[in-house]
Amino acid sequence: MSGSFNLAGRDPDEARLRYDRAPRSSPPVTAMSLLELIASLLGVVAVWLTVRQNSWCWPIGLGMVSLYAWFFFDAKLYSQVLLHGVFAAMQLYGWWAWTRGTDGNGRRVSLASGPEVLVGIGMAVLGSLLLGSAMARFTEAAFPWIDASLTAFSLLAQLWMALKRLQCWPLWIVVDALFVGFFSFQGYWLTAGLYALFTALAVMGLREWRATLVAAR
C-alpha cells in the first residue's frame, strides 16, 4: 500500500495545526504567584507612604521585602535574596531614623553633599564588582552581574532614603526603570509592572521631597 498511514484519514500537519490553534486554559495560580501579588501590593503601599513621608512605610516595607526574599530565592536570583535581606535590616533602621528626634518630627529632608554622593556611587560600583564576581563564581544565579549591579545601587538608594537624602529619588528612578526591563525579560510581568509603578512614584517622591526641602529653607 502506497503512502503513509494517517489517523482517520487526516493529514498529520493539519491535525497539528488544529491542535496549535486550540484554546489553552489559563495557568493555575501558584503559591509563588500569590506571594508575588501580596508582596507587590505591600510594595505599592510602602512606596506611597514613603512619598508622603509617613513612617509606617517602614514596617509595611519590612513585610514586602521579607516576602520578596522568599520569592527571589525560589527564582534563584540570589543577589536579590541578599538585597532584600539587607533591605529588611534597613527597614528597621529607617523606621528608627524617621521617628527619632527630640522635637518629635524625626529626620528632615536634606541634600547629600558632593563628597557623600561620590563616595556612595564609588562604593556601589565596588559592591557591584565584588558581588557580581562572587555570584558568578559560587552560585547558579541567573544573571549575576546585572543582578549584582542593581542590588548594589538599590542598597545605596535605600540608605539615602533612610537618611532622607533627596538624591535617593533620582537614583530610584534609574534603578526602578532598569528593574522593569530586567523582570520583563524573565517573564515576571507582575513584578515588572510593580517596578514601573515604583518609577512613577519615585518621580512623585522627587517632586514632593524637593518641595518640602525648598519650603524648609
Q: How far apart are CA 83 and CA 216, in angstroms?
A: 33
Spans of all domains in the chain: 29-216
Look at the pTM and tell me if it is higher than 0.85.
Answer: no
CA dist 184 and 98 (Å) reads 33
The dihedral region occupied by 178, where left means phi > 0, alpha psi between -120 and 50, and beta the remainder, is alpha
What cell does 178 get? 532598569
- pLDDT in single tens digits along all 217 residues of the chain: 444 333 344 444 444 444 344 444 333 446 667 888 898 889 889 999 999 889 899 999 999 999 988 888 888 777 678 778 888 998 998 888 888 853 445 678 999 999 999 999 999 999 999 989 988 888 777 788 998 899 899 999 999 999 999 999 999 999 999 999 998 998 888 778 889 999 999 999 999 999 999 988 7
The string of DSSP letters for 99-152 reads H--TTSS----BPPPHHHHHHHHHHHHHHHHHHHHHHHHHS--SSHHHHHHHHH
